[in-house]
Amino acid sequence: KDTGHVIINQTNNILQFQKNLKGDPTVVIPKVYLEYTTPQVLVMEALNGTPMSQLEKLRGQGVHPELIVKRGMRLFFRMVFQDKFFHGDLHAGNLFVMPGDKIGLIDFGVVGRLSDKVRDSIADMFVSLAQQDYERLAHVYVEMSPYNETTDVDQFARDLRDLIAPYFGLS
């Protein structure tokens, strides 16, 4: 891989997240030390938090899981619906719980950018899920995807219902 391109890309992504999330007291994006960063080395602030992958340690620290989940969802919705620029590799190893129940993010190598049309389709999918409207969900999904006239949208809707419906009403 061209490491210079990767480092420049990650640096630009971090700076964009810092700009987008400036003023949000619930999120921590590491500071990039541009004066030390080169095309081969990205130098940034270390986040002194606990990775979300360390659940037992978080429980022992008295972390408020419901608050973290709410903040995480708010962050996700902001990235997708407001900024249309989102972290594309959100897993427990890239998410930290920081002091004050803040969420810290690292690893900005994979990001996504959304058009208005895709953002609106994602919103339609969430509404369809909330209303358990599997036919609409199937149609929105198929409209967003490459498909042809042999796509059986009705069967797809039934498959979605069979897959998702058992989870409604669960905690």
**What DSSP string runs through 20-62?**
HTTT-TTEE-PPB-TTT--SS---BPPP-SEETT-HHHHHHTT
Strands 50-51 and 111-113, sheet pairing: unpaired
**What DSSP string runs through 93-119?**
TTEEEETTTEEEE---S-EEE--HHHH
The span from the CA of 103 to the CA of 132, in Å, is: 31
Rounded to 5 degrees, what are φ and ψ at 84? 55, 30
The span from the CA of 107 to the CA of 93, in Å, is: 9
- Which residue in 24, 83, 89, 133 is the catalytic one? 89
Strands 95-98 and 50-51, sheet pairing: antiparallel
89 is catalytic: yes
Q: Which residues are catalytic?
A: 89
